[in-house]
Structure formats: C-alpha cells, structure tokens
Structure 1
Amino acid sequence: MLNGTVENIAKNTLLYSFVLSQPFAVYAGSYPIFENKTLLEAEQLEYGDHGEAVRILQYKLNELDYYEDKVDGELGVLTEHAIKKFQRDHNMTITGQADTETIVALIEVDIDRNIKRLESLSDSVYPGLQSEEVKIVQESLQYFGYYEGEIDGMYGPLTKKAVEIAEEKHDIDFLDQAPRQSLSTMYNEEKEQATSSVPNKSTSNVKNVKIDANYSSIIQTAYAHVGTPYVWGGSAPGGFDCSGFLQYVYSANGITIPRTVSDIWNFGSSVDSLSVGDLVFYQTYKPGPSHAGIYIGNGQFIHAGLDGVEVSNMSETYWQSRYLGAKRISGN
C-alpha cells in the first residue's frame, strides 16, 4: 500500500490534500475531516503521549479492529501494541510509534474502508428509504465532509446531495429510486397471495393481504407513478405532493376525495384492522394528520415523500413514532 516516499503518499492522500486546501471554517463542523487533520499535524505520537491526537489515534485503531481498550487519550502499552499490529499488517517498520508514515497509512486505510462501505451499499439505499444501511452511508459521507446533516438513517435531500458529490468524486453509482422490478414483484406476490387461496378459520391476518378489485386498481395506479418527483402543491404526473398524489390516484379510479390530508382524514371511515388499500396517516411537520399514504401490505405504504413517490416501511422509527391511524375510503 505504501509505495514511494512518505511525502508523496501524504500529498496523494485524498483527505490530506482536501483538508490542507480548506480554511478552518470549512472543516470545523465536519468532525472526521477535522480529526484527521489534527492527527496529521501531530507528526509523531509515542508511548507516554496524551491528548486529543492520541484519542483520535485510539479511535481509528479501534474502528479498524486493532485496539479494544478504552479511548482515553493516553498512549500506553495497549495503544502501543495496537500500533505495532497495524505496522506489521502493513509491512512497516515495527516501532510502536505513530510517526508520519504510520499516520498517513492509517488514514489511507480509513479512507479505503469508507469508500468500500459506500460501494458495498450503493445498490441497497435509495431516496426515501430509512434503514441502518442509510446510517452507515451517512457516516461515510460525513467522513469525507459531503454530508452535514444528522445521522438519522433517513435518505432525504441532504443525503441525496451528499451522495451526488460522492458519485462524482469516487465514481460510485447509487440508485436514484427504489428498484421498480422489486416493487412490481412485491405487488404481484401480494395480489397472488390474496386471490389464490381461500381464507380459513386458522388464518389470523387475512385483512392484511385482502385486496378487492377496486383497491387493486388503485394500488396499480399508485405503483405506476413511483419515482415521480415531489412538488409542493402538485397533483399531476409531473409532480405530486402528499395529498395531491392520493387525490390523483383515487380520481383516476373514479373516486373523489378531498384535497388536503386533514380533510381526507375526516372524510374516511375509521378502521380497527388495517387492510391493503386503506390510507395510513402520520403527524409530521405540524400537529394532527399532515402526511398520508396507501397501505400496500407487508407493513409498507406508498406515498409522495420529499424525494418523490416511493414505498416506505411503517415499522421504520420515523414513521412508527408518527403514526396516527388508518381510514378507509368507500367508492362514490
């Protein structure tokens, strides 16, 4: 890994060249970058040293599975041993001292680890998704200074913007929406399950997969618009907002519903047991029902989120904590 002089390695290190080219204000709020700069400026750390640079060194060694003790900022025997293990694994002179060569190598390995994390998850995350995988991606994007938001696992506008920078900088291709094939397959499986078997007394969750002819058509219409961008006040295929999407889908199937989420909430009939085709409501940016989508089975719903029409999981922390209830719309 370390070919050439230490100076050349340092100059060619992505993060090193980045932080040296930026004023303090740029990286001050982006902790991973700032920490790497602090570590590089230490130049050499050895037994008995203590302070912030040692703490960062211990943390990085821990992240790379070389150090398992407390991150306390004291370079003692265990930290020295971890440095030696790292040096041995990377064909370096084993001294137990974190000199410039060791520090640069450590950062390069850390950079490579974060790039590989982004590459490995590029086909697993997409706008609108909330998951642990998104959290990992956000952490790696933050490492490079591309992401400035909260590590919340929600693939929203800030994550999308950071992903676009990573795509350009590292030649990584992320999904730009939920895979259409998987959505189609999911819907067909639900429909087949609902229509190919006759419920019996031992079936306890029949209503969770029930789809009558009318709701089947509504869900098909909704799926046809997955990927349509979010537009405030939008109610047409060129762009939807939350309630505009619902109104359009129902109107396309001959059913008229109100325009706003709160009015739709009051318009629908309350249900005790959630069925496919019911509308699920959430309290988001203001008190009361302010967001809604169509339940499609398997704990998922389709809706017009900030990243466009997408499928989300009701069990995700964000949605679960904001769930208000479900309503059923009858044909008119």
Structure 2
Amino acid sequence: MLQDQISRVVKHSVAYSFAFSQPFSFYVDAYPMMQNEILEQSNMLKYGMQHESIRMLQHKLQKLSYYDSSIDGEFGILTEYALKKFQEDQVLDQNGKADQQTVKSIIDKEEKYYLQQLNDELEFSIGDTGDEVKELQEALHYFGYYRANIDGIFGEKSDQALRAYKQDKGLEIHHIEAEIKEEKTVEPQIASVEVVKQEENTSESPDKEEQKTTAESVQKTTNTENLGGLLTNAKAVIGTPYRWGGTTTAGFDCSGYLQYVFQQIGVALPRTVSDIWNATKKVNQPSVGDLVFFETYKPGPSHAGIYLGNGQFIHAGESNGVEITSVDNSYWSERYLGAKRVTFQ
C-alpha cells in the first residue's frame, strides 16, 4: 500500500526518477501524504514519548489551529492539551493520546481543510500573489502536485500543479492558453492582405518604372491604413473577459484575441501562440503593431500580445481580460522572448 501511495503522489513531480532513488526519509518532509501513512501505522502516541511521528502529529495539530508551540517531536503537556481539545471538538474520548481513532480523525480533518482550498473555485493568473495563492500552494503540496517553494506567488509551477490536479479530477482547466488539436484545413503560415490588385481588361498600362513607383506608394499607404485599423480593433475590445479557448467578443484567450483582431483587417493568423510564433518574421526591436511573445507556463512561446509603443502591449490577460500592460512589468520582462512581425503584402 505504501508503495502505491508514493507512486500516486509523486507522479506529477518533475523529479520523478530522482524521487524514487531517495531513502524513505525523503518522503517524510517532501510528501505530506506520506506522513499520514506513517501516523496510521504508528502505535499509540502518548505523553512522554519522543518520536518523528510526534513531530508530524504536532504539525497537523498546528495546521488545524490546535497547537501553537514548537514542533520538536516531544509529546509534552502542550501536545497533550492540543489533542484533548481536538478530541473534545470531534466528540472523541478525551484521553490526550494519539490513538488510531484520533489519528484518523486528524487526517480526515486536515484533508477536508486542504480540499476546501481547492474547491473554492478561485481563479488565479500568472503573477498573482497573496495568502489565497499560498493556501492553494499548500493544498497542492499536500496532495503531491506542487513541489516548489510555498511563496504565495502564482507562477508557472503553481499553474502546472493546479492543471495537473484539475486534470486528475476531471475539472475544466482555465489557466492556460488553449492548444487546439482538432482537425483543420491547411491554412497559410500568414495570410496576407492583397495590396496591389491587377487591373483586368486594361487597354493601356504605364511603363514598368511608373508601375513600380505606384505599387510602392500604394503598399506604403495600405500598410499604414492596416496598422491604424489593427490598433483601433485591438483597443475596441478592451475589457472583454478572458475565456479559455475563446475566440469571440464573448471572451478571448490570448491567441484567440490576436486571431480575432487580425481577422478584422483580413489577415488570418494560426490558432495557437506557438504556431503564430513560427509563422511570423523575427525583428530585433518591436515597432507599433508587432507581436511580442512570452514564455509562461511551458518552455517556448505561450503568450503574446500586440505592441503599442512606449513599452506597452495589449493582450488578453487572465486576470482582467483584454488590457494594456507594460512590457517592463516585473513579471512580463522576465518572460519576454522577443518580437515578431506580421507582414502585409
């Protein structure tokens, strides 16, 4: 049973192979669920004893707000008092001993406490901070999904852990960019706006040099018009809520937003951020209208927006929906991958 338990709680660890090479003591601190197994298999713990299991017992009583002294592994009067108080609240025999029934009740109570943190259906976005994030991390850590520092910052590892938990529970995932895998017709890397149209049935045509000059002039004017339309359309939907997989004004995810905005000026973008990255032209520095890409929940480009100039970009963010944000923001600046350009032909 113990080996099955270990397998279940470490399967999402990025150090899966490393974990199984460690001695059993590794699991005691790294995997809280292992503490439950140890306590359940322990004999009755009582006043005067000193044992690693008592340290685990004190930790659990402290989490449940019954024990507020040091966690030292010594079953003293304060540990006994905490147990009696817990037993009283749970209508158990108030003997001050960690017998099998009391231990089971403590574990059940703790598990319900952590499940509550995961069942509150709180929405978090990359970069969110606070006590609620910390409680979420603790809960995910308890069930073996989160292996990083419990720091109250919702980052990539927190997002990955939450998605893994939701996946196992069959819950809908709202925290990542949709990766569309359905069959679809082959589309060009970047569909372009046709700028110079061929005249049909013309009896006369200007010489080649004049035609070239005219074409360049038309292309420059049209690109300016396209850029103006792009920015107008991009800003027109500010405030539209974030929706995983969303591609309409009812709600966007980040690539759905880009796809929608460019569609308004006749440009078809691929559906996912990674495909958009592959389909666009790299530039050293972004200009107004270029796309800026970021690495968030997975390696490689996973978020993108439209550069507005002056260090600002507009994108569909998970916290506030479509919004204007600074590229120099501490969160985004650390995850910036580069800029790319959609070419108008």
TM-score range normalised by the length of the shorter chain: 0.5 to 0.7
Residue by residue over 1:294-321, the C-alpha shift from the partner in whole angstroms, topping out at 9 and shown as x without a partner, is 479xx9953599xxx9889879975354
Q: Distance in 1 between matches of 2:242 and 2:77?
A: 60
Residue by residue over 1:121-167, the C-alpha shift from the partner in whole angstroms, topping out at 9 and shown as x without a partner, is x1x2267675444553343244234x25546624534422311333x
The aligned amino acid for 2:305 is G
Q: Distance in 2 between matches of 1:300 and 1:96?
A: 61
**Residue 166 of structure 2 corresponds to residue 163 of structure 1:** yes
Contact 2:254–2:304 under 8 Å retained in 1: no
Instruction: List runs of 5+ in structure 1 lacking aligned partners.
Output: 1-18, 179-211, 231-238, 271-276
Aligned counterpart, 1:103: 103
Q: Distance in 2 between matches of 1:106 and 1:53?
A: 13
Q: Distance in 2 between matches of 1:94 and 1:256?
A: 70
Q: 1:266 aligns with which of 259, 284, 303?
A: 284
Aligned counterpart, 1:22: 4
Q: 2:335 aligns with which of 306, 322, 325?
A: 322
Q: 1:228 aligns with which of 245, 257, 261?
A: 245
Contact 1:227–1:310 under 8 Å retained in 2: no
The aligned amino acid for 1:81 is Y
Call closer, same or farther: CA 1:112–1:269 in 2, change over 3 Å: same
Aligned counterpart, 1:253: 265
Call closer, same or farther: CA 1:129–1:310 in 2, change over 3 Å: farther
Look up the SS of the partner of 1:302 in the other structure.
strand
Residue by residue over 1:228-264, the C-alpha shift from the partner in whole angstroms, topping out at 9 and shown as x without a partner, is 289xxxxxxxx9996x974773353357999559945
CA-based RMSD of the aligned residues comes to: 5.0
How many residue pairs match? The answer is 252
Look up the SS of the partner of 2:38 in the other structure.
helix
Q: How does 1:1-332 map to 2 (within 5 A)?
A: 22=4, 24-27=6-9, 31-120=31-120, 122=121, 124-125=122-123, 130-132=128-130, 133-145=132-144, 147=145, 149-150=147-148, 153-154=154-155, 156-166=159-169, 168=170, 176=174, 214-220=230-236, 226-228=243-245, 246=258, 249-250=261-262, 252-253=264-265, 263=281, 265-266=283-284, 268-269=286-287, 282=294, 292-294=304-306, 302=315, 318-319=331-332, 321-322=334-335
Call closer, same or farther: CA 1:261–1:67 in 2, change over 3 Å: farther
Residue by residue over 1:172-224, the C-alpha shift from the partner in whole angstroms, topping out at 9 and shown as x without a partner, is x666469xxxxxxxxxxxxxxxxxxxxxxxxxxxxxxxxx8752412457959
Query: How far apart are residue 59 of structure 1 and its match?
Result: 0.5
Instruction: List runs of 5+ in structure 2 lacking aligned partners.
Output: 11-26, 177-227, 270-275
Look up the SS of the partner of 2:4 in the other structure.
coil
Contact 1:265–1:327 under 8 Å retained in 2: yes
Q: Distance in 1 between matches of 2:51 and 2:111?
A: 23
Residue by residue over 1:3-34, the C-alpha shift from the partner in whole angstroms, topping out at 9 and shown as x without a partner, is xxxxxxxxxxxxxxxx6692554457671211
Compute the TM-score of the two structures, normalised by the length of structure 2. 0.54
Q: Distance in 1 between matches of 2:174 and 2:303?
A: 23
Compute the TM-score of the two structures, normalised by the length of structure 1. 0.55
Computing the radius of gyration from Cα coordinates, the structure with the larger value is 2
Aligned counterpart, 2:200: none
Call closer, same or farther: CA 1:250–1:229 in 2, change over 3 Å: closer
Call closer, same or farther: CA 1:142–1:175 in 2, change over 3 Å: same
Q: Sequence identity of aligned pairs in percent?
A: 31
The aligned amino acid for 2:164 is K
Q: Distance in 2 between matches of 1:311 and 1:52?
A: 51
The aligned amino acid for 2:245 is T
Look up the SS of the partner of 1:68 in the other structure.
coil
Residue by residue over 1:258-278, the C-alpha shift from the partner in whole angstroms, topping out at 9 and shown as x without a partner, is 9559945536338xxxxxx88
Residue by residue over 1:76-121, the C-alpha shift from the partner in whole angstroms, topping out at 9 and shown as x without a partner, is 122112112111222222222111111111111112212222222x
